[in-house]
Amino acid sequence: MDTRLMLLPAANIDQIRLLEIPKDYEEHEAFRHVVGIIAAAEEQEGTVEDIIEALEEQGFMPVNFLLGPDIP
């Protein structure tokens, strides 16, 4: 099975994150679950690091990436 990834865009380029989606999630389930994790962290005034930690606890693993140049 192919690795499925989710890009979490951010206004600050340094906060863009790429996550590997756990194999037991359908894409729409993964999206909704990540939205819920982010919302819960925001309610508790959590940091980006808190959000990433909560995502990792649910199996969404960060993937290192290189941000390339803009394409026209």
Look at residue 2 in the predicted model and tell me its pLDDT.
Answer: 83
Q: Which residues of 14-25 are buried (b: 16+ CB within 10 A; e: fewer)?
A: eeebebebeeeb
CA atoms within 13 A on the CB side of 10: 12
pLDDT for the residue 27: 92
With beta carbons less than 8 A apart as the criterion, state whether 20 and 37 touch.
Answer: no
pTM confidence score = 0.85
DSSP state of 58: T
Write the DSSP symbol of residue 48.
H
| Whole-number percent of the chain with pLDDT over 70 | 99
- pLDDT for 1 equals 57
Q: What pLDDT score does 59 carry?
A: 96
